[in-house]
Amino acid sequence: MLLNRSDAVSLAKGLEGRYKDAKYYLNFKTPVDLLVAAILSAQTHDEVVNAVTPALFAKYRAAADYARADPEELIGYIRRVSFAGTKAKNVISTCKALEERYGGKVPKTMEELVELPGIGRKTANTILINAYGIVVGIPVDTWVIRLSQRLGLSANTKPEAIEADLMALLPKEYWHNFAYVLKRHGKELCKDVPVCSKCPVDRICPKNGVKKRL
């Protein structure tokens, strides 16, 4: 079952109320830091990314530093993240593109960001929202994909279609933080066996696909 707009807004409001301190989870100081951390975060726990980035960001301070990096040396800083070799190559090629096209700056539009190697809409939304405060969409990560269907916000499985469904249902004021609220909710209550009895949106949520709950 899919929620109508009014129930979807009530659900988003209820979850935001419970997770008032939900926010983006990777540490960064500059837009380049954020872009690099986002590339490293694929299929890697946030804690691991946050553990390697202080030394990495101290060594490589700008896109030019990554663009000129020796791949083996860079891998040495990120060895703990999964697929370190591939990610090191991606970081170097993306930062080379930043140097060549944008003078080493991270661009501020979705269109420009998704043209960079290895950057899709999720990462582009993440950068725009968290580095620049520009909201043009909703980052759709694995938590958003899983919970959007369960909570009746989308019947789609492809990230871009889910994002479009969420943008149609929710007013823009919810877009910047919704992914981070859903992530907290997925970790704390809406787990594989969800704790619906403690959930603030128990009465609205259709619980699609839920077979067992607490």
Residues at the site binding ligand SF4, with contacts judged by CB under 6 A: 150-151, 189-190, 194-196, 199, 201-202, 205, 207, 210, 213
Query: Do residues 53 and 28 make contact, with C-beta atoms less than 8 angstroms apart?
Result: yes
Nearer to ligand SF4, 18 or 105 (CB): 18
Cα separation, 150 vs 11, in Å, equals 12
Minimum CB separation of residue 152 from ligand SF4 in Å reads 9
Minimum CB separation of residue 10 from ligand SF4 in Å reads 12
Phi and psi of 30, rounded to 5°?
A: -120, 165
Nearer to ligand SF4, 79 or 203 (CB): 203
Minimum CB separation of residue 191 from ligand SF4 in Å reads 8
Taking alpha carbons only, the member of 36, 53, 50 closest to residue 126 is 36
Nearer to ligand SF4, 81 or 190 (CB): 190
Nearer to ligand SF4, 66 or 174 (CB): 174
Minimum CB separation of residue 153 from ligand SF4 in Å reads 10
Taking alpha carbons only, the member of 39, 4, 38 closest to residue 204 is 4
Half-sphere exposure of 146 (CA within 13 A, CB side): 15
